[in-house]
Amino acid sequence: MDLSIIVPIYIVEKYVRTCIESIYKQDLNEKNFEVIIVNDGTTDRSMEVIADIIRQHSNIIIINQENQGLSVARNKGIAIATGEYILMLDSDDLLPNNSVKPLLEYALRVKPEMIVADYLTISDSKISQLPNHPILQPRKLVVEDIKGEEMLTVGNCRFYWRILYRKNFLQSNNISFYPGILAQDVPFTTECFMKVKNLKRASWILYLYRHGHSSASFTYNKKRANDTSIAIAKTWELTKLETISPEIKWQHRELMFNLFYAHLWAINWGHIKDNSEKIEAIKFFRQKAPANMRFCHSFRQIVWTLLFRYFPPITLIWIITTKLRLSKRTKK
């Protein structure tokens, strides 16, 4: 088997049909790939709206489980996958027509551990226009070598769904999604980029990321803040890896500070309105943050580390709030 496409499903009945239909617009021989649908205990009609598609195709595998979260669902899919390569597709997103085949053919020929491709962020209205206005790809597939540390500080490096993974790479390095948290993509992709030895970067649109609809990824509430704290703590643990190079260690530290800084801002300026909940979220972050998590590569990093470690949460909130107000006034 050449490819396994893993699709976890949970309360996505408005979007899942378009997602699964896009898989069968890739000009791939069904004998050479499989679709692993993991029903994560969905309580809506998601499985019903794709029942006819499932009946029409013999290469679809269904896993039914009680709701355990997307991490567990993806891990189960990876565990039973028989494809040499794995693609993870979120059930509210989709693939552009004929986007997978060129990348897969290249992967089967060259055998990289990972190929990072391009993606487009697209709204519901534009998705409805795709039959008449298809996505324009580059004239030819362009692939270049890239090092894992070069991806670590890229803002969208955490997007696991824009990557074609060799299954043997994930298995031999024991890489899996951390269960039970919403921000499971952060430690997963970071570990991939820290351990990969043969990484390619493709100028090719592999994925269409749907935005503008109700989704956990667009809500920074107390639950997501606490989950992100756990994700940052798990990602920091990767500093213990003995095999990583000094270059990767440096970039990993930069990534961690960016996550740390963005997380503090999100607690204050996300959807957490109540100051008491903000304080609880910062306290939780302090509890989960490893004792040795320090940032000292610049004066800014040193200052923010000291603020986080030693200032009362309410003072830290006031400092962040004041800084944002001052920056808005400066822009005016």
Spatial separation of the C-alpha atoms in residues 106 and 220, rounded to whole Å: 38
Residue 328 has pLDDT above 70, yes or no: no
Please tell me the total number of residues recorded for the chain in this structure: 332
Residues of the chain with CATH 3.90.550.10: 3-214
pLDDT of residue 169: 98
Name the pLDDT band for 133 (thresholds 50, 70, 90).
confident
Residue ranges of the alpha helices (H) in 178-245?
185-195, 222-236
Fold topology of 3-214: Spore Coat Polysaccharide Biosynthesis Protein SpsA; Chain A (3.90.550)
User: Do 159 and 212 touch, CB atoms closer than 8 A?
Assistant: no
Given this model, what pLDDT does residue 24 score? 97
Q: What is the mean pLDDT of residues 225-238?
A: 93
| Structure confidence at residue 178 (pLDDT) | 94
Backbone angles phi, psi at 8, to 5 degrees: -75, 145
Secondary structure element (H or E) that encloses residue 88, with its range: strand 85-88
Averaged pLDDT, 98-116: 97
Higher-scoring residue by pLDDT: 4, 148: 4
CA dihedral sign, ordered 5, 11, 17, 22: negative
Q: What is the pLDDT of residue 216?
A: 45
Looking at every residue in the chain, the average pLDDT score rounds to 90
Model-level pTM? 0.91
List the Cα angle 106/108/114 in 5-degree steps: 75
Look at residue 177 in the predicted model and tell me its pLDDT: 96
The answer to whether residue 129 scores a pLDDT higher than 70 is yes
In single-letter form, the type of residue at position 260 comes to F
Average pLDDT over residues 17-32: 96
C-alpha span between 128 and 108 (Å, rounded): 33
Show the CA angle centred on residue 300, arms to residues 195 and 267, nearest 5°.
Answer: 75
d(CA 332, CA 328): 6
Strands 85-88 and 3-9: parallel
Average pLDDT over residues 90-117: 97
Share of the chain above pLDDT 70, in %: 94
pLDDT at 31 over 80: yes
Lowest mean pLDDT among 162-171, 211-220, 277-286: 211-220
Cα dist from 31 to 4, 116, 227, whole Å = 11, 25, 39
The 10 Å Cβ neighbour count of residue 41 is 15
Query: Treating both helix axes as pointing N-terminal to C-terminal, what angle do 246-269 and 185-195 enclose, rounded to 10 degrees?
Result: 170
Q: If we measure between CA atoms, which residue out of 3, 190, 170 comes closest to residue 84?
A: 3
Contact 284, 226 (CB under 8 A): yes
Q: What is the mean pLDDT of residues 149-157?
A: 81
Asked if the model's pLDDT at residue 326 lies above 70, the reply is no
> Distance of alpha carbon 134 from its chain centroid, rounded?
25
Task: Say if CB 120 and CB 93 are below 8 A apart.
Answer: no
Instruction: Please determine, for residue 170, whether its predicted confidence score (pLDDT) is greater than 80.
Output: yes
Q: How confident is the model at residue 128 (pLDDT cuts 50, 70, 90)?
A: confident
Q: Closest Cα partner for 234 from 180, 161, 288, 156?
A: 288
- Which of 135, 33, 13, 133 shows the shortest CA–CA distance to 85? 33
For residues 143-162, average pLDDT: 88
C-alpha span between 205 and 216 (Å, rounded): 24
pLDDT at 219: 65
pLDDT exceeding 90 applies to what percent of the chain?
Answer: 67
